Amino acid sequence: MDIEILGSGCSNCAKLEKVTKEGIAQLGIEAHVEKVEDMQKIMSYGVMSTPALVINGVVKLVGKVPNKVREIEILEKELNAK
């Protein structure tokens, strides 16, 4: 699973990265997590509000930080979609 955390380095971006990594660890899945701070790339996804979560090239969450339970739901849904 390829995961991108889109954001300018704000505190919410760091929180999203943290909760995402915690969810990955709890589920025991393999994932590559990349922080993306390049505004051109962020805008290429059509994202105008950060932080944003992109999984396998698809924007899943914009402008907010989910709690750990919600993050795990998002990750599980993506796993089950395969």
For the stretch 10-64, pLDDT in tens is 999 999 999 999 999 999 999 999 999 999 999 999 999 999 999 999 999 999 9
Tokens for 61?
A: 């969450």
Whole-angstrom Cα distance, residue 5 to residue 7? 7
The CATH number of 2-80 is: 3.40.30.10
Greater model confidence, 54 or 8: 54
Q: Is 10 a catalytic residue?
A: yes
Whole-angstrom Cα distance, residue 80 to residue 29? 12
Q: pLDDT by residue (tens digit) across 55-79?
A: 999 999 999 999 989 999 999 999 8
Tokens for 59?
A: 């924007």
Q: Is 13 a catalytic residue?
A: yes
Question: Among the options 3, 5, 13, 75, which is catalytic?
Answer: 13
Residue 82 has pLDDT above 80, yes or no: no
How is the chain split into domains, by residue range? 2-80
